[in-house]
């Protein structure tokens, strides 16, 4: 029973870290990356569709994204979606592909992005703590139903705390790496 609670908590915490990585992947750095436009949603025949489902995205140069739509008729809507996104990018359309030059970041913009990284990491930590709270309440519920002893409850809570600390430390490490990447000139 306790192992089930711990396994569930670990699984949920792993998913929370994956979500954090995905969120931080969308934070713009000085380099081009296909993950920058993963969050861009294009209105395709009345249906909001992720950009990566409408086009091939490649990085031929460190500061250039090339987006090649599979349907040439979507070039205009893809271009508008990128312009409307919060990325601050200006796409160029040659009728065949869309080229997006990634400009160098200013110091002020880097600081804004670092604040965004910190905010995302903190949201990830809050999610981890919520999972911890749920796991501890499940363990206490097992205790009140007399399915486990007091000692088992204390041990299980300690294991949940250790698990949470491990994942919070990992979230901090991921955040520091992304912060370093953003501040890199």
Per-residue pLDDT of the chain (185 residues), as tens digits, is 888 989 999 999 999 999 998 888 777 676 777 877 877 888 888 888 888 888 898 888 888 889 999 888 888 888 888 888 877 788 888 888 899 888 877 888 888 888 989 999 999 999 999 999 999 999 999 888 888 888 888 999 999 999 999 999 999 999 999 898 888 76
What per-residue confidence (pLDDT) applies to 82?
87
Identify the pLDDT of residue 88.
75
CATH of 2-25+106-183, one of 3.30.160.620, 1.10.132.20, 3.30.565.10, 3.30.70.20: 1.10.132.20
Identical topology for domains 2-25+106-183 and 34-101? no
In the chain, where the domains are located: 2-25+106-183, 34-101
Distance CA 52, CA 43 (A): 13
DSSP single-letter state for residue 105: P
Residue-level pLDDT at 45: 85
CA distance linking residue 126 with residue 59, whole number of Å: 34
Structure confidence at residue 185 (pLDDT): 65
- Predicted pLDDT of residue 147: 87
CA distances from 89 to 79, 102, 128, 151 (A): 10, 7, 33, 57
Q: Is the pTM of this model over 0.75?
A: no
Q: Fold for domain 34-101?
A: Gyrase A; domain 2 (3.30.1360)
> What gap in Å lies between CA 49 and CA 41, rounded to an integer?
5
């Amino acid at each position: 029973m306790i192992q089930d609670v711990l396994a569930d908590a670990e699984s949920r915490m792993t998913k929370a870290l994956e979500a954090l990585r995905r969120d931080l992947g969308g934070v713009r750095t000085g380099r081009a990356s296909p993950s920058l436009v993963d969050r861009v949603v294009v209105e395709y025949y009345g249906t909001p569709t992720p950009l990566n489902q409408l086009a091939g995205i490649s990085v031929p140069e460190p500061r250039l994204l090339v987006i090649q739509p599979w349907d040439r008729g979507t070039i205009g809507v893809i271009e508008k979606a990128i312009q409307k996104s919060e990325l601050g990018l200006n796409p160029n359309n040659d009728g065949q592909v869309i080229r997006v030059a990634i400009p160098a970041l200013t110091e002020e913009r880097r600081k804004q992005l670092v604040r965004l990284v910190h905010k995302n990491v903190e949201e990830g930590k809050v999610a981890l703590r919520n999972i911890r709270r749920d796991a501890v309440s499940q363990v206490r519920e097992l205790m009140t139903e007399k399915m486990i002893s007091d000692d088992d409850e204390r041990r299980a809570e300690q294991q949940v705390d250790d698990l949470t600390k491990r994942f919070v430390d990992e979230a901090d490490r991921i955040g520091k790496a992304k912060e370093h990447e953003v501040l890199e000139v």
